[in-house]
Chains A and B, each alone.
Chain A
Amino acid sequence: MSEIAQRIRTLLSTRLKLATAVDEITDDTPLFGPTGLGLDSIDALELVLGLEKEFGVVVEDRATAVKVLASIRTIADYIQSQGKG
């Protein structure tokens, strides 16, 4: 988990322009919405393409993305559930 989480943090910092330092993002920090990092739908697309490239996992549609991209933990769980990482 922690190794995957670290790779996800790297992905967040390299593909997105974050206002928050990446090591301040916990596994459970919400990535979207005003209480979290405040990412938007274009960031979500960027993340989906990054996850496909880095981990070989496909996020097919928006409904899946909403669930999977909630936090670093939910992304890591999804990667493991797909047998990747």
Chain B
Amino acid sequence: MAGDPASHLPHGISFRFVDRVLEIVPGDRVVALKNVTVNDPSLQDHFPGNPLMPGVLLVESMAQTAGLLLPEGLSAVLAQIKEARFRSPVIPGDQVRIEAIRRGGLGALHRFEVVALVNGIPAAEAEIVLAVVMPNAEKQP
């Protein structure tokens, strides 16, 4: 896929936790990849000698994936994380496949069911609500 398919996320590159979009049906469903690598800054100290992707960052990755389903040009923040489960550790070398499905919304709120899989096995799942808060700030070229 040419370019950077996740580039319309409002996050700066150092806080981007989506590497590639595999499939997207805008407003409905999306499948994306996050590759986990040992020199990722967040893994250096989590934990020394025993790198493990922090669960909160896995949720961030899931939320960013869900955010790809919102219309371009909007920024959203987390409003609710529900039924989050972390089923197995995510470690360097893992490729996380994140599948998000939109399950309705009201006003600025959008609800998603999201699952993160490694080798086809669920590593985490959650129901996530995003709240649209503002148009994206003007991006640097």
Contacts and interface: CB of A to CB of B under 8 A. Distances in A.
Contacts of A41: 106-109
Contacts, number: 28
Contacts of A61: 106-107
Interface string A53-70: 000000101100100000
Given A41-B109, A42-B109, A42-B129, A48 B79 contact: no
B106 A44 contact: yes
B99 to A, nearest CB: 19
Nearest to A49: B104
A49 B104 CA distance: 7
A45 B109 contact: yes
B79 A42 contact: yes
Contacts of B79: 42
A52 interface: yes
B111 interface: yes
A33 to B, nearest CB: 16
Contacts of B107: 41, 61-62, 65
Nearest to B107: A62
Contacts of B106: 41, 44-45, 48, 59, 61-62, 65
Given A42-B79, A42-B80, A42-B129, A52 B104 contact: yes
A61 B109 CA distance: 11
Highest count of chain B CB atoms <10 Å: which of A42, A52, A59, A65: A42
B73 interface: no
B103 A45 contact: no
Contacts of A44: 106
Contacts of B26: none
B105 interface: yes
| Pairs A-B, 5 closest by C-beta atoms | A62-B107, A45-B106, A45-B109, A48-B106, A49-B104
Given A41-B108, A45-B111, 5 more contacts: A41-B109, A45-B129, A49-B111, A52-B104, A61-B107
